[in-house]
Structure 1
Amino acid sequence: MTRLALDAAPETAVPRRFLETAPIWGALAGVLLLAAGSAALRTRWHPATLAATHAFTLGVFGNLLFGSLLQFLPAVAGARVRGGRRAARLLHALLNLGTLLLVIALYGSLRALFAPASVLLFAAFGLFAGMTVPGLLAAHGQRLLRAGLGLGIAAALATAALGAGFALTLAGWIGLPWPMPALVDVHALLGLLGWVLVILVVVGRMVMPMFQGAATLPAAAAAAWLAGVATALPLASITRLVRADRATPYLVVVAATVAFAFGVLWLQARSTHRRNPPLRAFWRAGTLALLAATIALPVGDGLLAGVLAIGVALPLLTCGMQLEIVAFLGWIDLHRRCGRGTRLPSVQRLLPNRERWRVLACFLAVALLLPAAVQWPSSWLAAAAALALIGSRVMLWRTLRGVRHRATRFLAEEVA
């Protein structure tokens, strides 16, 4: 079991602000799809599709990963985060204002908003690196964990730089030396594999035994996976740009995602002290959806694969953890306020399993309807998928807020 340095963790309001913002972006993506109808689910280049995609990748995943890592780095990795609460507030503002401008610009094809959006978003990722990288370099021990986190943050910066280049090109400020479709593929490869999946692997190796009772991934296997990704990402990116080679990036994605998915399923199967059935189910469903996305990658223009990965698989994996982190934050907050000697409610009381299962059921409805709407485009199916997406995120947000309400009620009863 990983030892947690709770005293080193930031104020609970710091990560909670990001984690409670993420569902709002998921709901907004549903609103965009509802407004655009089935047209948004026919091609990956539709303005509403591009806007909804970035509502997920920046609004949902950006907030989830920033918030989670601000809690994880000092508490688990032993890396001090610089800037404190003030820098975290600025980071939250830059990320979400930049994402809002970008989503509006993409949906409405508003050239004037692309440049400010790119500046704000690149500043957000640069600030995050400045807050976290020095602490990672100065920390001692857990070299594999720190190396993986460093790789993920480097990929995030590269993704943000490419995204800024796209935005400035769309604004008419600069030109890009390679075709836009090839650069978009590299952008997606760095962001989804290099940033999101790498962070999931290195963080999951530490928290799967803690929260799921799963077996621990051997260090040699994790190191081999990370080394393979670190080597293959630049190779696949260069071949895609220089040689217009789609096969190498495809093989890299297949190898990395299949290894991750089967690794998760294998670790869960080898669990000796299984706990937290809802979270295990979130991760099992997410890994299966990720395998389906990998299989669908050569189909059409990649829309189905993108929907399965960005709209289904990664939300299941990240939002399952989001529930656990917010519940744990509620317990830490009570621990700090009440001190020793007070019998605190357990994490399970702050967030009962029945509510976790309810959120999972809503997410699984999206997992069925959204790919179906891509495969069989129709106005009613697109509307059903969009409404399921909105409803699932409203349910998630209410569930997260419920943790705070229970903690507040406990404090009120203690004072009384």
Structure 2
Amino acid sequence: MSGLTIAAAPPLRRPLRFLLTAPLWGMTAGGWLMAHGETAMTSRWAIPTVVLVHLFTLGVLANAMLGSLLQFLPVAAGSRICLHRSAAWLHALLNIGLLLFVPAMMLAHPLALTMASLLLAGALLGFAVAALNGLIRGSGSRVLRAGIAMAVSALAPTALLGVALVAIVLGRLAWPIDRVADLHAASGLLGWVLMLMMAVGAVTLPMFQGTRRIPDAAQWSWQAIALAGLIVGGSARWNGMPMLAAVGIAVPVLLFAGTSLLLQLGAPRRRNPVLTLFWMLGTVAIAAAGLLLLAESAHAHQDRAVLIGALFIGIGLPSMLTGMMLEIVGFLSWIDLRRRCARGIRIPGVDTLLPETDKRWALAAHGVSALALLAAALRPALAGTAGALLLAAYAVALWCLLRCLRRSAVFARENRQQR
């Protein structure tokens, strides 16, 4: 735990509300896939597919990332976020917005779609402003704060392009929907999610998985490559140059995946094997998505958008974040016990609160669901089965988190909880 300012950790409830919501949306995504079957796996433009994508990106990924950052920024990056009660409002805006988005999209209801887009954009932009303010005033590693700031800044174009897409769907804006959708996806997935994973991974990979430390120069270089790829890829896509656009996006993706895999395979002090396997599953899926993106751009007649989305959005990023989320909740529960119990009481370790056995169940469930989702992307007739296994996988992850919290609560109660 060296290098962490544990005393700066927020109250447990603040990040926990986001972290517990993420697997609930994962279960919803599984149920959605069961209900809509092949329709949700045949075309990226089908409405059930659009909803499924946002159940992952806004429901699973956004909740997991925002909750993780509420804990990570003050503890590891020396950057306090002055949200306090506002964190509950941002959580409500994000999740109510997504709850409204699902039926509004299916019914194409203009007012409901507009309200949903504004709620979602408001939540993301509100968090971005608060996080950037904390990062600018922070005292942690400059390269770490810069990487997170770049990722958080990408929330602005992601949110605004999302609002623009709703305006296009409703006929209020005459921009090309395919190009705007690709820019929206690129800024969200590469700019926000992957840049954040790289910045945070530079700390968590050595700390929790025992890998070698990534030099600051290498981190600065990857950030520059990712930003350049985003700018070049976005500009090329807007100007009708799909091959250059694919290269601009795929290069930083493949660099991230390749670096992560090499660090994990060559770790001198291996730790947390379940977390390592979660990350390896995720990075392999992301690498496959990057290679397919390049192949698709070289053979324009082959549409692999659903397969690429399944690998990147349905398997790769959620696997990495689920593994980290299990570690974070165990860590937060341990910090909470330190605060609640009197001095002199021996606090159970993180591995006791959330043992490896529980995490192995989560890993096995997510591994099976990943294979099923991949199979469904190749054969949409298997979508129903994939949805059931996806629902089960996130139910197991939620079960692990709740068991951890229950162990913590029981220990605190047995030791009279408050000091």
Q: CA deviation at 1:80?
A: 1.4
1:43, 1:301 within 8 Å by CA — same for their partners in 2? no
Please list, as runs of the form range in 1=range in 2, the aligned pairs for 1:1-400 lying within 5 A after superposition: 2-84=2-84, 86-172=85-171, 174-177=172-175, 179-241=176-238, 243-297=239-293, 298=296, 299-378=302-381, 381-400=382-401
2:235, 2:245 within 8 Å by CA — same for their partners in 1? no
Deviates more, 1:147-156 or 1:262-271: 262-271
Deviates more, 1:286-295 or 1:312-321: 286-295
The residue type equivalent to 1:236 in the other structure is: G
Q: CA deviation at 1:412?
A: 2.2
Q: How many residues align?
A: 410
CA distance in 1, matches of 2:2, 2:39: 48
Q: CA deviation at 1:141?
A: 4.4
CA distance in 1, matches of 2:346, 2:54: 43
The TM-score, its normalising length taken from structure 2, stands at 0.95
SS, match of residue 20 in structure 2 = helix
Cα distance change, pair 2–156 in 1 and its aligned pair in 2 (3 A)? farther
Percent of pairs identical after alignment? 40
RMSD: 1.4
Cα distance change, pair 47–149 in 1 and its aligned pair in 2 (3 A)? same
1:23, 1:394 within 8 Å by CA — same for their partners in 2? yes
2:233, 2:249 within 8 Å by CA — same for their partners in 1? no
The residue type equivalent to 1:211 in the other structure is: F
The residue type equivalent to 1:385 in the other structure is: A
CA distance in 1, matches of 2:81, 2:38: 44
Q: Structure 1, residues 298-319: CA drift from partner, whole Å, max 9, x if none? A: 1515110001110001111111
Q: Structure 1, residues 206-250: CA drift from partner, whole Å, max 9, x if none? A: 111111111111111111010111122122212211x21111221
CA distance in 1, matches of 2:108, 2:83: 36
The residue type equivalent to 1:101 in the other structure is: L
SS, match of residue 415 in structure 1 = coil
SS, match of residue 45 in structure 1 = coil
The residue type equivalent to 1:10 in the other structure is: P
CA distance in 2, matches of 1:154, 1:36: 35
CA distance in 1, matches of 2:110, 2:390: 28
Structure 2: any 5+ residue segments left out of the alignment?
297-301
Cα distance change, pair 200–313 in 1 and its aligned pair in 2 (3 A)? same
Q: CA deviation at 1:108?
A: 3.1
Q: CA deviation at 1:46?
A: 1.3
Q: CA deviation at 1:270?
A: 2.6
Q: Structure 1, residues 171-207: CA drift from partner, whole Å, max 9, x if none? A: 34x3143x10111111111110110000000001011
Q: Structure 1, residues 20-62: CA drift from partner, whole Å, max 9, x if none? A: 0001111111111111111211111111111010011011111
Structure 1: any 5+ residue segments left out of the alignment?
none
1:296, 1:302 within 8 Å by CA — same for their partners in 2? no
